Amino acid sequence: MSRPLSRRAVRAAALVTSLGLLATACGDADEPTDAAARTGALSGVCPATVVIQADWEPEAEHGGIYKLLGDDYTANVEAKSVKGPLMASGEDTGVDVEIRIGGASVGYQTAQSLLYQDKDIMFGYGRVSEHLVTQKETPVVSVFAQLEKSPYAIYWDPATYPDAKTIADLKKDKVKILLGSDVTVWQEYLVGTGVIDKAQIDQSDSPKPATFVAAGGKVAETGFITAEPYMYEVETKAWGKPVVGQLIHDTGFPEYFQSMVVRKEDVTKQKDCLAKLVPILQQAQVDYITDYKATNDLIVDLVDQYQTSWIYTPGQAEAAAKAEIEMGLVANGDNATLGDYDLARVQKLIDLIGEYAPDADVADVKPEDLVTNEFIDTSIGLKS
Residue bearing the bigger pLDDT, 119 or 206: 119
Measured between alpha carbons, how far is 215 from 201 in angstroms, rounded to an integer?
A: 15
152-251, CATH topology level:
D-Maltodextrin-Binding Protein; domain 2 (3.40.190)
The amino acid occupying position 175 is: V
| Average pLDDT along the chain | 90
What per-residue confidence (pLDDT) applies to 37? Answer: 67
| Interval 239-266 mean pLDDT | 97
**Predicted local confidence at residue 5, as pLDDT:** 33
Lowest average pLDDT, out of 64-73, 144-153, 202-211, 320-329, goes to 202-211
Q: Per-residue pLDDT tens for 134-181?
A: 888 899 999 999 999 999 999 999 999 999 999 999 999 999 999 987
What would the mean pLDDT of 213-235 be, rounded to a whole number? 97
- Report helix, strand or coil for 194: coil
Residue 132: predicted pLDDT: 82
Q: What is the mean pLDDT of residues 232-237?
A: 97
Residues 96-120, mean pLDDT to the nearest whole number: 96
> What residue ranges do the domains of the chain occupy?
12-149+255-370, 152-251
Please tell me the least confidently modeled range out of 23-32, 43-52, 99-108, 335-344.
23-32
Is residue 342's pLDDT more than 70? yes
Bigger pLDDT: 312 vs 12 = 312
Residue 210 has what pLDDT?
95
- Name the residue among 216, 207, 206 with its Cα closest to residue 240: 216
Q: Do residues 133 and 360 make contact, with C-beta atoms less than 8 angstroms apart?
A: yes
75-107 in b/e form (b: 16+ CB < 10 A) is bbeebbbbbbbbbbeeebbbbbbbbbbbbbbbb
Mean pLDDT of 252-280: 97
Residue 205 pLDDT level (bands cut at 50, 70, 90): confident
What is the topology classification, in CATH, of domain 12-149+255-370? D-Maltodextrin-Binding Protein; domain 2 (3.40.190)
Within this chain, domains 12-149+255-370 and 152-251 share the same CATH topology: yes
pLDDT tens by residue, 16-69: 333 333 433 344 444 434 444 689 999 999 999 999 999 999 999 999 999 999
Query: Rounded to whole angstroms, what are the CA distances from 29 to 24, 34, 120, 143?
Result: 12, 12, 6, 21
